[in-house]
Structures are given as C-alpha cells and as structure tokens.
C-alpha cells in the first residue's frame, strides 16, 4: 500500500460548493501549503432519521455527479490522488453510528433488508463513479457502528463493489471499534477514525496493532484531527467543543499524534479532518476554533511531518 498523506476536503458539501472558484482556490492552497498528496471527498447520502430506510443522494441540495467528477478531475490536475468515501448522514442531526434496526424483522417496523438495499444503491453508484474517474481508493462507508455487526451485508457489499471498482477497497470504522469489526478480511485496507485523546495514543495503537497483525492488512487513519479549542485535546472527536480558541492545543495534539504514529511502520498514512472549501481570513486563524489547520500552528506541523515521508 502506498503511504497516504491526506486531508478530507469540503466534507458533506452542498450543491455548487465544489464547483465554486472559492473551493478551487482553497484546494490549491491545501496542496501548496500542507504537502498532502491525497485528498478525500465524501459525497453524502441522507436519511431522515437513524431508523429511516431510504437514503437520498440525488436531492437538489446535494452535489450532482457532474460537479463531483469535475472536482475530482481538478484535484487530479493539481497532482492530488483522490479517495472517495460515500457517507450516510441523518437529516435530524443524529450521528450515523446510531443507525439501527431490529435484528429480527417485524412486519410494520423499519427493516434492515430495506435499508441494506438503499445503502447498496448508494455505495454502488459511487463505486462506479470512482472507477470512471480513477480514484485511487474507495471507502465503503464511515463510522456505521451499530450496523457493523451485520456482517453478511458488508461482505456482500464488498463483493459487489469489487465487481465495479478495481482499486483498493476499505471501510472507515470509528475510534475504539477497530477490534470489533469481524469482516476486515473482505476489504484490502483497514481504516479508522483516529480521534484519540492526548496521552492515550500508545495504548490505543498497541490495541489496533493486534487487529492489523491478525488480519494481515495495511492500516491507515481515514480520519484524524483535533479542534483548536481549549479542552479539545482530551476530546478530539467532540466537534461541539465549546472551549475558547487555542491553536496551541491543536498544535500540541498534532505533534503527539504524528510523533506516536510515525513510529509504527504498520501505519500507512493519515487523512486529516478537515480542510474547508471556504477559508476564513488568514489573519483571523488564531480565533478559529474548528478542525481546520489553515494558517494555524498545526499547519506547519502537518507540513513538516508530510515532508518527511
């Protein structure tokens, strides 16, 4: 597996965003300033609640295929390799990890089988698009914690994707779940969301390494990052962190994350969360509390570590 120096760009963008001049300029800056050689795009499928059986990926407010293809082509023209990760979200704001149904199907109640059919349509649509555009990896979903126990679905989905898409296939499990997935053998690469608190990296990497060795698969972090806010280093997964702006805390977390992960030869890269399509003014970066690293001290950390690979 090729080492990934990646960043997620414009996740869950609405229609017109990826095609904007502002987004293209932002992507150019991502490439020039960070040393990243991969960019991850995450087209969205939306279901109303965690218990809805329909997944909509063609609504007017979502990017259409032509816009996504143009964005992929533009990224490739910059020299960036594109990873595609179609991701389901719930319109009511509930995290996708809670999508769940009865294991024994009950007439009149929402059912796994109908959700599976919708999820398969969603994933296969973008698998065909990834094949058409030469994406270097396809990730068949993200952080579907409650759904991961339904092993037969994921094995069937992986086989159907591989019939359409001929590059490497992965799945992005959530933090702390790496050793809960039982079907890693049906994908080419293991990946997870590495939002681990400061001070816990070695313990978590020891745990993950056992999984990687057992399945004998390459591993990378398909998401990892930390907000630039007080308290974020202890809860890097908490995007609702309300602490005051603290770019230094984000910088220290990134230093620790890279310092710990580059020691492990079995970790084949990182995809950082995230780089927005509309950048805040550079002079206001010190007051920005989000995950973005643009013009913050963490950006220099990323550039330094990515330059070493």
**Strand-strand pairing, 169-173 and 189-193:** parallel
For residue 302, being part of any structural domain is answered with no
Confidence at residue 111, expressed as pLDDT on a 0 to 100 scale = 96
For residue 69, being part of any structural domain is answered with yes
Domain count across the chain: 1
Confidence at residue 240, expressed as pLDDT on a 0 to 100 scale = 87
For residue 241, being part of any structural domain is answered with no
Alpha helices in the chain (DSSP H): 21-34, 65-77, 112-133, 151-164, 201-215, 247-261, 297-307
Confidence at residue 242, expressed as pLDDT on a 0 to 100 scale = 81
What is the value of pTM for the model shown? 0.98
For residue 40, being part of any structural domain is answered with yes
* Token duo for residue 118: 């919708």
* Token duo for residue 160: 């159907």
CATH number at residue 34: 3.20.20.80
For residue 167, being part of any structural domain is answered with yes
Neighbouring CB atoms inside 10 A of 216's CB total 8
Confidence at residue 27, expressed as pLDDT on a 0 to 100 scale = 98
For residue 243, being part of any structural domain is answered with no
Is 96:87 a contact under the CB 8 Å cutoff?
yes
For residue 196, being part of any structural domain is answered with yes
**Of 7, 69, 62, 14, which is closest to residue 40 (Cα–Cα)?**
7
Q: How many residues does the chain have?
A: 309
Q: Residue ranges of the chain with pLDDT lower than 50?
A: none
Confidence at residue 68, expressed as pLDDT on a 0 to 100 scale = 98
Domain residue limits at 99: 4-223+267-278
Confidence at residue 241, expressed as pLDDT on a 0 to 100 scale = 84
Confidence at residue 75, expressed as pLDDT on a 0 to 100 scale = 98
For residue 173, being part of any structural domain is answered with yes
């Amino acid at each position: 597996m090729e080492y990934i120096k990646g960043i997620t760009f414009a996740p869950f963008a609405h229609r017109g965003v990826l095609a904007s001049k502002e987004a293209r300029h932002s992507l150019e800056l991502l490439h020039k300033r960070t040393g990243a050689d991969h960019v991850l795009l995450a087209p969205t499928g939306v279901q109303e609640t965690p218990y809805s059986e329909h997944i909509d990926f063609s609504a007017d407010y979502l990017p259409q295929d032509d816009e996504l293809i143009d964005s992929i082509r533009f990224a490739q023209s910059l020299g960036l390799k594109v990873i595609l990760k179609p991701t389901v979200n719930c319109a009511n704001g509930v995290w996708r990890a809670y999508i769940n149904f009865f294991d024994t199907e009950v007439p009149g109640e929402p059912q796994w089988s109908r959700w599976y059919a919708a999820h398969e349509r969603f994933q296969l649509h973008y698998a065909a698009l990834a094949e058409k555009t030469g994406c270097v990896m396809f990730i068949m979903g993200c952080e579907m914690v409650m759904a991961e126990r339904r092993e037969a679905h994921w094995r069937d989905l992986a086989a159907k994707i591989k019939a359409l898409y001929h590059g490497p296939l992965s799945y992005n499990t959530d933090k702390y779940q790496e050793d809960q997935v039982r079907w890693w053998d049906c994908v080419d690469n293991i990946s997870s969301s590495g939002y681990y608190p400061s001070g816990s990296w070695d313990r978590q990497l020891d745990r993950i390494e056992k999984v990687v060795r057992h399945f004998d698969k390459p591993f990378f972090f398909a998401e990892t990052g930390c907000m630039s806010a007080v308290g974020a280093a202890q809860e890097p997964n908490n995007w609702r962190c309300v602490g005051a702006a603290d770019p230094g805390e984000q910088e220290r977390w990134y230093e620790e994350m890279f310092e710990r992960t580059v020691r492990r030869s079995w970790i084949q890269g990182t995809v950082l969360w995230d780089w927005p399509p509309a950048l805040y003014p550079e002079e206001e970066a010190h007051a920005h509390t989000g995950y973005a690293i643009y013009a913050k001290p963490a950006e220099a950390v990323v550039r330094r570590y990515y330059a070493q690979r």
